[in-house]
Amino acid sequence: MFWTMPFAELHQRSCSKGEIFGSISTTIFASSRGVADHKMNRSIAFLALNLQALHFEDCQGISVKGITLQNSQQSHLTFTRCSHVEANYLRVTSPEHSPDTTGVLVVSSRNVHIMDNLISTGDDCVSIVGNSTDVRLRAISCGPGHGISIGGLGENRSYHRVEKIKMDTLFISNTENGVRIKTWPDGCGTARKVKFGDILMKNVSNPIIIDQHYSSNKIPCGSKGGSAVTVGEINYVGITGTSATERAVTFSCSDAAPCSRLTLENVNLTMADGQNASAYCHQAFGKTVGVVLPESCLGKGDFVRQVAGQGDDGEDDDR
């Protein structure tokens, strides 16, 4: 059954094979052998008492299941530099206009599964940042809030690499964004090999958005005139529903690092009042498959990238 925290902080460092789960009592139990057990004296009990966040740092083999997280002052559930994580059957709620109350924040972690969750906050339902790889989101109801985000990447001219991300079977409603990739113009790194699939939108502003102009800085990292964070190999498959704004698809990419290998496949987004929505592209290249509405604005030819000793951070050649 679901158990409600009123909200508390549990900060775990350097842990392995632990599980936190919903209990019929007011205590959450974690067992070092990987199985939650409220009957064993060896279990470590944490009482939830009016703090800020549930945070796991440098942990492996973590499972968080069947709890309700409410009214955090900041992110509700955070995984930092963790691996082999499960966060399932959660209810995460905070007021619609509460700032910085991300539901689940994944920071530089790998092999993370976030599934079968109901998330309603004042910020992102799920945010993936840092150097994260192999993250799977499935069967999530998101809204209200800011939607589901990768980034912002590259803040303060840092290097971030997010790749091998798969999201499917999502319901996103009454949010400021749907599925979003956002990068800072002065950063370095890449977001690649991402699939957004089988997503139903309802009254969502900016249902599909890539924003490579998330902020600005006079000293760009690794490129001239804008973001050096590259975005490519992004697939949008089976995304349907309604947009709260006339523009349903926005690919606002960088002049210095255009978006490449974007795919729109069987996308059908209209305005909530039934009128046609529109799409906007700037330096965005890729292809469409099947029926795509609004009509795609993607450029048909990818730009050619020259590697100049920095891998993905090299400057772009002319298309």
Is residue 160 part of the annotated active site? The answer reads no
Q: Which one is catalytic: 124, 146, 186, 316?
A: 146
Q: Return the higher-pLDDT residue of 105 and 318.
A: 105
Q: Each residue of 11-66: pLDDT tens digit?
A: 555 555 556 654 322 223 333 333 333 332 222 223 333 344 699 999 999 999 99
C-beta separation of 90 from 118 below 8 A: yes
Amino acid (one-letter) located at 140: I
Determine the pLDDT at residue 214: 77
Determine the pLDDT at residue 300: 86
**Distance between CA atoms of residues 113 and 128, nearest Å:** 12
Region 263-283 average pLDDT: 96
Q: Nearest CA to 240 among 274, 276, 201, 279?
A: 201
Q: Nearest CA to 162 among 215, 259, 81, 231?
A: 231
Determine the pLDDT at residue 44: 27
Cα of first residue to Cα of last residue in the chain, in angstroms, is 56
**Distance between CA atoms of residues 142 and 197, nearest Å:** 15
Greatest pairwise CA separation for the chain in angstroms: 66
Determine the pLDDT at residue 161: 97
Q: Each residue of 220-241: pLDDT tens digit?
A: 454 455 547 999 999 999 999 9
Q: Which two tokens stand for residue 226?
A: 């804008």
**Distance between CA atoms of residues 233 and 137, nearest Å:** 18
Region 189-198 average pLDDT: 97
Q: Nearest CA to 165 among 261, 232, 239?
A: 232
Phi, psi of 136 (to 5 degrees): -120, 125
> CA-based Rg of the chain, rounded to a whole angstrom?
20
- Which CATH code of 1.10.3720.10, 2.40.10.120, 3.40.1050.10, 2.160.20.10 fits the domain covering 124-313? 2.160.20.10
Tell me which DSSP letter residue 297 carries.
-
Region 81-106 average pLDDT: 95
Determine the pLDDT at residue 119: 98
**Distance between CA atoms of residues 146 and 224, nearest Å:** 30
Q: pLDDT class for 313, splitting at 50, 70, 90?
A: very low
**Distance between CA atoms of residues 104 and 165, nearest Å:** 15
Is residue 123 part of the annotated active site? The answer reads yes
- H or E element in which residue 223 lies: none
Q: Each residue of 138-166: pLDDT tens digit?
A: 999 999 999 999 999 998 889 999 999 99
Region 96-121 average pLDDT: 96
Q: How many CB atoms lie within 10 A of CB 275?
A: 10
Q: Which sequence spans correspond to the domains of the chain?
A: 124-313
Q: Which one is catalytic: 123, 124, 312, 316?
A: 123
